[in-house]
Amino acid sequence: MDSITVSIVMAAYNEEKYISEAIQSVLEQSFRDFEFIIINDGSTDSTEKIILSFNDPRIIYVKNEQNLKLIASLNKGLRIARGKYIARMDADDICFKERLEKQVDFMEKNPDTGISGAQLKIFGETEGMMNYPLRHDEIKLRLLLTSCFGNNVVIFRKELMDKHNLFFPEGYFHAEDYKCWTNWIKVSRLANIPEALVKYRSHSGSVSVKHRSAQRETRNRVRAEYVEEIFNLQDYSLASDFTGELSSKRITASRSILKMNEKMKCFKQEELTNMVYKLWYSDSLEQIEKKFSVFFMFPLIFKLSFGSNFKNWIYLFKHYFKVKFA
């Protein structure tokens, strides 16, 4: 069997509107040594017809007779993959032509990096950039807050994935990728390339829009589990308080974690302190949508640093009125 450098894995469910552009952007890559595994996850529209209209021997078409959902479909594709590297792609996004070329080159030059990503250019209903941290230490810290990779632009080593069973975990509803990255960081170095290599399509049908509430709930669970692992906590409730409801309990937990970090030196103390503020602010923005009392809780964190967070307090106030009277 001939060796393949990259296996690109993409799952699609009723993506007739966008999938043609996605497939075309992969087939037009400047790097040619790849197989393209497309899993049709029981689509009921013309997705299958569009996929089959492409006559390219690098395409490996897999059809689920019933809808298995995204994670089961992706893991199915990962098990089929034969490449040295596995790259992810979503059925509604677009690759830049040199995406694979640049990502393979980066991985070849950085053999200690098990998984890497890149930046995303947002287009569609909104426009802008989705920027991710570049270095391993930055990613390790940022994982306390959120995912640090675009799931549609990652590339990783199949050998490591197989050895450590680093498939997308079941049971983490709409945050499986976030949990997956916190598993990867246990066994490998992580990185992101500083330039955008994929265009991320912003539209109302995306997972982050349709399942926002469930995604937040699972994300908070991943955060707590990550804190528990990083600091080797014996008491899960401390991690849960640290990432949980905005309250005096969370302030106490935050101070406990900061004190532990002084001894364990998991992170630079100043950087962890700043991340505690960002985490509190991020959660405040979400929770104030439902209860204005969060605005009055927010100054609690200012006991640690009022001046550096004053602008965030003002933005929080503006966000409440923007959401309330939109």
| Predicted pLDDT of residue 132 | 96
Residues 34, 10 contacting (CB under 8 angstroms): no
| Predicted pLDDT of residue 29 | 98
Domains of the chain and CATH, by start: 6-210 (3.90.550.10), 231-324 (no CATH)
Q: Please tell me the least confidently modeled range out of 3-17, 86-100, 167-181, 239-253.
A: 239-253
Q: Which two tokens stand for residue 119?
A: 């930046």
Helices in 69-211 by DSSP H: which ranges? 70-80, 99-109, 136-142, 158-164, 176-184, 207-210
What pTM does this model have?
A: 0.89
Position 153 pLDDT exceeds 70: yes
Q: What is the pLDDT of residues 259-317, one digit of tens each?
A: 999 999 999 999 999 899 888 888 888 877 777 777 777 666 655 555 666 777 777 77
User: Averaged over 64-82, what is the pLDDT?
Assistant: 96
Residue type for position 222: V
Residues 201, 94 contacting (CB under 8 angstroms): yes
What is the chain's mean pLDDT, rounded?
A: 90
User: Averaged over 196-221, what is the pLDDT?
Assistant: 78
Q: How far is CA 122 from the centre of its chain?
A: 15
